[in-house]
Every structure is written in structure tokens, then in C-alpha cells.
Structure 1
Amino acid sequence: MTCLPQGDGRAGFEARLGSLVLASCLVCGCVGYRSRPLEQAELVGHLALPEPGSLVEAATQVRHPRLRPVSLDFSKPLSDEALGLLAVLVSPELKIFRAKEAVAEAQVFNAGLLPDPKLFGRFDWVFSGPAGLVSPYTATLQWDLAKLATRSTDVRIAEGHARQVRLDVAWQEWLVANQARLLARRCVYLARQEAVATEAAQVSAQLLDLTRHNLALGDATLTELGIREAAFLDAKDRSLALARQVAKARQDLNRLLGFPPNHGIAIAGFEAEPPAGLHTERLFVSAQRQRLDLQALEAGYASQEASVYRAILGQYPAFTLGINDYHYYSDYNTGGPTVSMDLPLFNRNRGVIAIAEATREQLHREYVARLNQTRADIGTLVTDLNRIAQEREPLARELPELTRAERLLREAAAAGDVTLVNYETVRANYLDKRLKLLALEQAAAEQAVALQVAVGSPSIL
């Protein structure tokens, strides 16, 4: 800190003041303004499909606490894991969260900057008076020491917030990846159910044609024809309903990926093994350690703890140091230090302290509420998976025998050895059981993904 040198009049003072301001700008450096308009060409580029080559390279370089890099091969159907990572790479919503991460990092940078000194100046012209008077001026250079006293705390607050944002981004990426996996599994199992329903509709159509032929020959009744027509319409409606569900699931997946609604994605088939040996309390303990959103809340709470401490520091007087240079009418100079401080008589930062403490209490309750919700979600999912396993086991055991019976009766009906009514009864039962088993397998596959999300880890055993 330096004093303004003594000068003789307005011109000298303005020259010295201008030189000091110019030197400050040159030393500190200034950031220029750059316009960022919403260009239509750029927006069209953002809406276009990403280049496959860039996605393949990015998928092998992913660094995430819960997602591992994968090798994308767009010439083959993609697994649910590959689709999950692809969603993380291209999801438009995630790009918004990553922009928030950049804002948090900028806040950390801002918190670590030292305060700029302040320069005050005053100049008076002498219009009348005794001979020999000169124009006086005053110059003061001040520096607020309060920022220095709280700088480390401000940095700790900003760093805690930045860590919270980073963990929130990672958690959102984890959610998006698993939502893509869930939708991929839904597409696969619904497509299998649609194939079964379509096959059943085709068989019903054949039986209807055969009944019409027999009716013309006098070997069937109008009642039988009505039964065949009702069975065909039911099978056709079921097939169309499943086709609509498949189309919706694929559109949901495209929306998540930011792809056009009708964009085709080849999904690899798989057999998801339902998890077994699940223990609710053990999974909850693992979730407390693994879930990124809980870690984000912990980071936010730590940041707020620092904010409370920062508010406590604010109740003490804030000091400002300065240096003055006075040039009087009689053309002589004086100068010296100045000290200013707040007098904590009325405010004493009590309002800020109250807000900080109330916010900390709010975050504490949010954390406890999230723990309760996590435990409840895990308990519900474990119960659902156990019930699905109980329903699935007898179906999986009985379906092969029912499949054999349906095939034998179909051959016998074609040969005229059994009535179509008997075959239709067995066939309807076989179709219902087969679709129910596929629906249970779909529910188990989706609930397994949901349980991984609830625990916060790909490994739930």
C-alpha cells in the first residue's frame, strides 16, 4: 500500500490518480465480454444424433464411482449395461447437471480470491480567497480485513458445496443409467410377451378358419364359432396391447437418450437371474455407505456447518485498514493510517446466525428423512422380489409339462382325435401361464434394477 505523492494542483492529482488506476488494471487483468447468442445452427447440432465414433471413445474413458467403462459396438445389439452408459453420455438432462458442477467450481475459485483494496479520492477547486491558496485534494487507500479473517471458512463452505454438487451429478448419472437399464429390460420382456401373444393370435385365427370350414360341412355349431371368434378377438387385443406397451417403452428409452421418437435401438436379449438371499438390514447398512445422494447430503451438511461458523465470526467487529494523503490549501501534506470497525450494538449478525442454524437443522432433518425413505424403499423392494420369486417358482416348474400337453393336444386336434373345445381350454391356460411367467420375470428384472438404485451399488448381494 502506497500513498499518493504530493503534487501541485488538479492536473498533477488527476495524472497520478489515472496512473494508479491504469496500473491496477494492468496488474490485475480484466476479462473481456464475449456474447453467446442462441444460434439456430448450433441448436440443430445439439439435437442431432451424436457421432458413434465419439461415443465409443467416450465410453471407454468414463470415470464414475459406480459405473464402469464399457466397449460400445453399434453394429451389434446393445446390452442393458451398455445402454445405461450410453444414456449417461448423451442424456440432455445430465448436461444441465454438469453445467451446475462448473458453477460450483467457479464459486470455489471466487471464495479463494483476496479482496481488492478500495481507493477514495476528493479534489476541490479554490474559486476565491486569500492569495497563495492551492487546490486541496484527499486520497485514501483502504483494505477490508474481514474477508481475510473468513477466507479459509468461505473456501471450506464453497468446497463443501462443490463436493455436494459433484456427488449430486454422479447420483443423477447413476439414476439415468439405471433408468435406461430398466427400460431396456422392459423392452426385452414386453417384446417376448408380444411374440407369445402374436403366436396365440395366429393359432386362434387358424382355429377360427377351421371352425368356419367345419361349420360349412356341418361338423361345427354356431356356438363353437362364437367361442372361436371371441378367443381370436381376445388374443388379437392382447397382442395389440402388448405392441403398444413395447412402442411406449422404446419411446421412453429414446426420450431418455435424447434420440428422436422413432429411432431404432437394437437391444440384446438376456436372462436376468432374480437376486436371492436378500437381507433388508444388511442392504440398508450398505446403502448408507454406498448411496451417492446420501454422501451429497453429508457434504452439504458439512458446508452448512462451516456456514454457521462463518455466521458466528460475523458477529465480531470487522476491521478496515487504510492510508490517507491530505494536501491542504496552504500547499503542505499530511498522511497516516486509518482504522475503522463496526460497533456490534444492535445487529450483531444475529439474523444471519439464526438463518444459518435453521438451515443446518433443515438439512439434518432432510438427511434423516432420506435415510428413512431409503430403508422403506429397500424393504418394499426386497418384499416384492421375494413374493415374485414365490409366484414364479411353481409356474417355472409346471410350464414345461403344460407346454408338452398343449403340443400333444394341438396335434390331436389337427388329427380330429380331440375336440377343439378341449384343446382351446388347455391352450388358453397354457397361454395365460406363459404370459404370467414372462410378466413375473419382467417384474423381477425391473425390481432388481430398482433395488440396485436403492442400495446405490451394482452389487446387492
Structure 2
Amino acid sequence: MPRLLPCPPARARGVALAAACAVCFAATLTGCTTYRAQPLASHASLIDANALARVQIDPATMPLPELAAHRFDPANGFDIEDVAMLAVANNPDLRLARDDLGIAQAQAYSAGLLPDPQVAISSDYPGQLGLSRAFSYGLSMDVMALVTRSANLHSAEATVHKTDLGLLWQEWQVVAQARQLFVKARYQDAVLPLLAQQEELARMRHERTERAAQAHNVTADVVAGTLVSLQDARKQYADMQLAREQTRHDLNALLGLAPDVELPLVGPDALDALDTIAPTPDATVDAAMAALPARRPDLLALKAGYEAQEAKYRAAILNQFPSLSVGFVRARDTSEIYTSGFQISLSLPIFNRNRGNIAIEQATRTRLADEYQTRLNAAVADTAHLRANGAIIARQLADAEASLPPLQRSAERAHDAYTARSITLGQYTDAQSAALARAIDVATLRESLAEQRVGLQALLGSAIPDPASATTPPIANR
């Protein structure tokens, strides 16, 4: 009966130590990344008023040519281009989108790395005297990882391109939001004084009507009517104050500013001349529409995503073939007989054959094609809708502007007549209120027309000039 001998502890520890040393040596050769903790911030990082004065923005990093040609200078206040540039540079959502781009780039880097070879080491210790230790050393490589590497790398690179274009499209949208909030804020700043005048006129009329009622010169229903007018005027003024506060809050949030920062906005407001928002020629819009699939970032991003999916589909087809791993083996048995050879690990494509993944990738490719077509159709429809709305608003604005000067002259005559005691208080306030109401209508229509222009910019890019510009910059191709 042979006597079994336990594995010597010292020898076992030596083998383990040798294996650990081999692993550490290999890691040293390839280079190691060390861990460094990155604690979360304990306070808000919003830009305050002092930091805002020191902000510098490189125009070369801007996504649209009109922004790249603009000089950012906070000392002169913030016009519509300055606000858009600050939004691109400091918007919190864009910061996250840029982080997503970094993740996609890291994934592309990972996809391009060659697979590591596999080392297999085994050692047997016989329990019978007279026999030697047996061992086996093997080195193998996953061949299928090399076969599918090209398709996987192409898919990852296309995904990076898609993410980059998606970031550009998001920058377009942030620019549009910043411009719309600028237009809205300037409109509210211009209309608030007019609403204050309306409220003052209503208050004066009500107070004097009350005194007249106390003197029994007017009836109570007249006083009630003036009170209703006063309450309406106060509500309109209060509503506009709330809207202005909301606009300022939204603008600060979009720009990553502290809540107490009051951004000094400069440039045209809603009461300036209409030539600041002159209509864009139909030919310009038509040309931008024709070039839409080749220039709008979201459509280009969907194209890149479709290319990435094509590569994934090809990789899935390649993976239907047997998984192959090839290696070299050197061994010795307990009789001290040395052998050298090779090993092949091969899966048998009998049941699975990667058919499920192929079906998934094919269906995903079909969905991406449909998504691209749907987005293109929506872009055409949205552009047509904004053009139609813009034409209607432009006609309404022309009518309102044509009727404003006569009402203003009538208000001036009413003022002179009331000073000369030739007309009643009601006639005077009616004339003044009519002129103010029409001025507010004109400002509201101009603000709506400017927002229509910004909406077209968001759809078509730099083919459409800013509401504060009378020139049309060239179409951007990035």
C-alpha cells in the first residue's frame, strides 16, 4: 500500500509567491493605474457676481460662427451673443454631456485594445515516493476577439462621433434657450414701465371717481367700474413682475449663475425698431432646409449612431461562428517525461449560434433607421410651422405698428386737452390707456416674432441671423 505524502507547506508557499511575482511583474511591464480618491464637493459651484466679472471665454470653442466671431467682454454688459456664449461655456447640462463624450472616448479606447493572452499554470504533487512533480504551462489567445476587434472598434468610434454630434446639437439648443430668455427678459424690462403707467392711470381715475362719488357727482356703479379696471391693471403688473422673476431665475440656472446675480442685459429690446428682426428671405430658409441632413447635428448624430449599429450587427454576425482560442502547452508528468504541444478551445455552434443577438441588433438597426426618418420629417414640419407662424405674426405686427402712431398722437392731444380742462378724466385716461395698450401689443408681437426667429435658428442653425442682427451669417458646417 503506497504511503501518501502531504504537499510540503514551504513548497506551496513558494509556488504561490512565484505566481504572485509573475503577475506583479507583468502588471509592471504594462503599466498600472493607481487609485486616487475624488471626494464630492461640499458647497455649490455657481458663479457669483465677483467671479462673473472675471469670466473669460475663448470664441474658438463656440459651436456657431456668429458666436466664434463675437468678443466676450462682461465689462460692457451682456448682449444676446454674450448670453449665448456664457450658456455654452457654463451650462450644467452641457458639462454632463461633455462628461458623456469622455466616457464614449474611453469606451472607444477600450475597444481598440488588443485582448490579453491567457497564461495557465498547473502543478501536481504525487503522493507516492519515487515520482516527480508534474507541471503544465500554457499560453493561449482568444482568436475571435481579434476577428471582431475591427467591427467593435468601428462601432465605438462611430459612437464617439454620435456623442460628439449630440453634444453639438445640445449646444445649439442651449444657445436657443439662452437667446429666447434674453429676448423675453428684454421684453419684460421694456413692458413693465408701461404696465406701471397703466396701473397709475387706473389708480388716479379710481381715486378721483371715489371723491366724485363722495360729492354725489357720480353713481356707485361708475366707481365699481373704475375699481375693476384698477384691479386688472394691478394684476397685469404683478403677473409681469412674477414672469420677469421667473425669467431671471431660468436664465441664471441655464448659465450656471448664483441666484442673487442680476445679469446686466444690454442691446435691443422689444420696443426697438423692427429692422432688428427683419424677415429672412425664403430662399435662405429653403437652402437651409435642403442642406438639413448634412448640417443639423442631431440628424448627423443619428447617422453616426446608425453606422455604429451597422458595425454591431456585423460583429454579431461574426460571433455566430465558433468561438476559437488557440494556445501553446509545455508539460511534464510524474515520470519526468516532457511534452510540448498546442491546445484549441472551440465552441460547437449547435443550439445558440448567436442567433438571438443577431436578431436584436438587426431590429435595433431598423429602429434607428425609422428614428432618423421621423426626426427628418419632424424637422421639415416644424420649420414649415414656424415659417407660417412668423408670417402671421409679422402681418399682425405691421397692423399694430400702423395703428400705434395715431393712438399716441391722440394721447398727446388728450393730455393737452385735459390740462386745459377741455375733456373729462375718463376721456383722458381712456386715450392714454389705449396708446399704452397698443404699445404693449406691439412689444408683445415683436417679442413673439423674435422668439420665432430664435426657434428657426434652433432648427436651421446659423442660416438664420439673430433677432438682434440684420445680417445673415454663412451656414455653419462642423
TM-score by length of 2: 0.86
Give 1:388 shift.
0.1
**Contact 2:456–2:464, Cα closer than 8 Å, also in 1:** no
Tell me how far apart the structure 2 counterparts of residues 217 and 59 of structure 1 sit (CA, whole Å): 70
Q: Are 2:200 and 1:195 aligned?
A: no
Tell me how far apart the structure 2 counterparts of residues 358 and 137 of structure 1 sit (CA, whole Å): 50
Tell me how far apart the structure 2 counterparts of residues 417 and 311 of structure 1 sit (CA, whole Å): 90
**Match for 1:104: what amino acid?**
A
The equivalent of 1:294 in structure 2 is 299
The equivalent of 1:329 in structure 2 is 334
**Contact 2:47–2:256, Cα closer than 8 Å, also in 1:** no
Give 1:424 shift.
3.1
The equivalent of 2:34 in structure 1 is 32
Give 1:352 shift.
1.2
Q: Are 2:282 and 1:278 aligned?
A: yes
Give 1:161 shift.
0.2
SS of the equivalent of 2:75 reads coil
Tell me how far apart the structure 2 counterparts of residues 415 and 233 of structure 1 sit (CA, whole Å): 29
Tell me how far apart the structure 1 counterparts of residues 52 and 290 of structure 2 sit (CA, whole Å): 40
Tell me how far apart the structure 2 counterparts of residues 63 and 304 of structure 1 sit (CA, whole Å): 30
Q: Percent identity, please.
A: 29
Tell me how far apart the structure 2 counterparts of residues 406 and 349 of structure 1 sit (CA, whole Å): 82
**Contact 2:134–2:333, Cα closer than 8 Å, also in 1:** yes
The superposition leaves residues 326-369 of structure 1 with CA deviations (integer Å, 9 ceiling, x where unpaired) of: 11111121112222322222221111111110110111111111
The equivalent of 1:437 in structure 2 is 442
SS of the equivalent of 1:75 reads helix
Structure 2 residue runs without a partner (length 5+)? 1-10, 466-471, 473-478
Tell me how far apart the structure 2 counterparts of residues 399 and 237 of structure 1 sit (CA, whole Å): 24
Give 1:322 shift.
0.6
SS of the equivalent of 1:51 reads helix
Q: How does 1:355-394 map to 2 (within 5 A)?
A: 355-394=360-399
| Aligned pairs, number | 447
Give 1:214 shift.
5.7
Give 1:20 shift.
3.9
The equivalent of 2:83 in structure 1 is 83
The equivalent of 2:4 in structure 1 is none
Q: Are 2:136 and 1:138 aligned?
A: yes
The equivalent of 1:94 in structure 2 is 94
Give 1:149 shift.
1.4
Tell me how far apart the structure 2 counterparts of residues 269 and 213 of structure 1 sit (CA, whole Å): 45
Q: Are 2:257 and 1:255 aligned?
A: no
The superposition leaves residues 182-235 of structure 1 with CA deviations (integer Å, 9 ceiling, x where unpaired) of: 001001112211111112222333444554566677766655544444433332
When structure 1 is superposed on structure 2, of 437-446 and 255-264 the one drifting more is 255-264
Tell me how far apart the structure 2 counterparts of residues 430 and 18 of structure 1 sit (CA, whole Å): 89
The equivalent of 1:179 in structure 2 is 177
Q: How does 1:143-222 map to 2 (within 5 A)?
A: 143-211=141-209
When structure 1 is superposed on structure 2, of 89-98 and 66-75 the one drifting more is 66-75
**Contact 2:453–2:464, Cα closer than 8 Å, also in 1:** no
Give 1:431 shift.
2.4
When structure 1 is superposed on structure 2, of 293-302 and 275-284 the one drifting more is 275-284
Tell me how far apart the structure 1 counterparts of residues 328 and 193 of structure 2 sit (CA, whole Å): 86
Tell me how far apart the structure 2 counterparts of residues 384 and 39 of structure 1 sit (CA, whole Å): 46
When structure 1 is superposed on structure 2, of 288-297 and 44-53 the one drifting more is 44-53
Tell me how far apart the structure 1 counterparts of residues 310 and 64 of structure 2 sit (CA, whole Å): 26
Note the aligned Cα RMSD (angstroms). Answer: 2.5
The superposition leaves residues 388-413 of structure 1 with CA deviations (integer Å, 9 ceiling, x where unpaired) of: 01111111112112101111112101
The equivalent of 1:5 in structure 2 is none
**Match for 1:181: what amino acid?**
R
Kindly tell me: are residues 15 and 277 of structure 1, through their superposed partners in 2, closer, same or farther at Cα, counting changes over 3 Å? Answer: closer
Structure 1 residue runs without a partner (length 5+)? 1-8
**1:242 aligned to which of 240, 243, 248:** 240
Tell me how far apart the structure 1 counterparts of residues 168 and 429 of structure 2 sit (CA, whole Å): 53
Give 1:169 shift.
1.0
The superposition leaves residues 273-297 of structure 1 with CA deviations (integer Å, 9 ceiling, x where unpaired) of: 1424336754432332321111111
Tell me how far apart the structure 1 counterparts of residues 304 and 277 of structure 2 sit (CA, whole Å): 36
SS of the equivalent of 2:331 reads strand
The superposition leaves residues 62-113 of structure 1 with CA deviations (integer Å, 9 ceiling, x where unpaired) of: 2435642532322332111110110111111111111101000101110110
